Structure 1
Amino acid sequence: MERQQADDTFPPGLGARVELTVTDSDTAQAVGSGDVPVLGTPRVLALAEAATVAATAARMPTGLTTVGVRVELDHRLPTPIGGTVVAQARLAKVDGRRLLFEVTVTDGAETVAEARVERALVDRHRFVERASRPA
């Protein structure tokens, strides 16, 4: 089942939207990526990935999941505590088991970040089993 092609299940154009209101725990200070009280880049990345996961959730075949394999992220504007950001993911390309998403993160009319997130369709049980083996 791990060899299943992603384009059999996930058509390009598939998308999802995820929203976050920035709290103290989302700041660069809190996540260790800086010393300013604004939305930290690691949280922007997590939000972008959450949108890609949400895009595939309703169509995910039993026993399968996707895992992140590559990310390109441009974090352009700061978002203060209390600000709300929205990540909109769109499946741009399917190549075998690989899914390439384009994600835009906005704060109202402003583009806060843009990302390209690549995920791979895998057999959940086999993946966890391999990850759990001693090195």
Structure 2
Amino acid sequence: MSAGTELPVGLVGTVTADVTHADTARALGSGDVLVLGTPRVLSLVEAATVAAVSERLPEERTSVGTDVALAHTAPSPVGARVVATAELTEVSGRHLTFTVELSQDGSRVAHGTVQRAVVSRQRFEGA
């Protein structure tokens, strides 16, 4: 695989999580309320981007995050189940663009885009 160009637009990945106290803004230091913290939202949508393409990349390749635009628009309390979804919407050489969303009970609580680059795993793991 030369870069990422063999990845088809339209790949989708999802990640589901139950919000715990460790996921809250207070626990993460990003605020002082007991609702899902934005850093955890970012982690979940990034995990969904990885899930969308990881099975399609050869073992010697991986992807790394390069840019994020994220709007976190509604709270999710401890105990809520959230679903992160990422769809690969653009492939330009080794650069991948995903549309991402986090929902709770079918309602959107965050949305945005995540860009990743396909890279040599060896380069990043130092092997």
SS in 2 for 1:58: helix
Q: How many residues of Structure 1 are paired with residues of Structure 2 in the alignment?
A: 127
Match of 2:98 in 1: 101
RMSD between superposed Cα atoms in Å: 1.3
Of 38-47 and 53-62, more deviation after overlay is shown by 53-62
Please list every run of 5 or more consecutive structure 2 residues that lacks an aligned counterpart in the other structure: none
- The aligned counterpart of 2:109 is 112
Moved over 2 A (4+): 127-130
**CA-CA distance at 1:127 after TM superposition:** 2.4
Amino acid at match of 1:46: S
Find the residue that maps to 2:41 and give its secondary structure. helix
Structure 1: 5+ residue runs without aligned partners? 131-135
Q: C-alpha distance in 1, partners of 2:102/2:5?
A: 25
Aligned pair partner of 2:10 in 8, 13, 38: 13
Answering whether residue 66 of structure 2 is matched by residue 69 of structure 1, we say yes
Residue of 83, 86, 89 corresponding to 2:86: 89
Residues in 1 aligned to 2:85 and 2:23: alpha-carbon distance in whole angstroms: 19
Return the alpha-carbon distance in structure 2 between the equivalents of residues 127 and 26 of structure 1. 28
> 2:121 — aligned with what?
124
Q: What's 1:133 paired with?
A: none
How far did residue 108 of structure 1 move? 1.1
Say whether residues 1:42 and 2:39 are aligned partners. yes
Among 33, 36, 46, the alignment partner of 2:30 is 33
- SS state at 2:77 partner: coil
Q: Percent identity?
A: 50
Q: 1:54 aligns with which of 45, 51, 56?
A: 51
TM-score of the superposition, structure 1-length normalised? Answer: 0.90
Q: CA deviation at 1:115?
A: 1.9
| 2:3/2:119 contact within 8 Å kept | no
Contact 1:48/1:115, CA 8 A, preserved across alignment: no
Larger Rg, first or second structure (1 or 2): 1
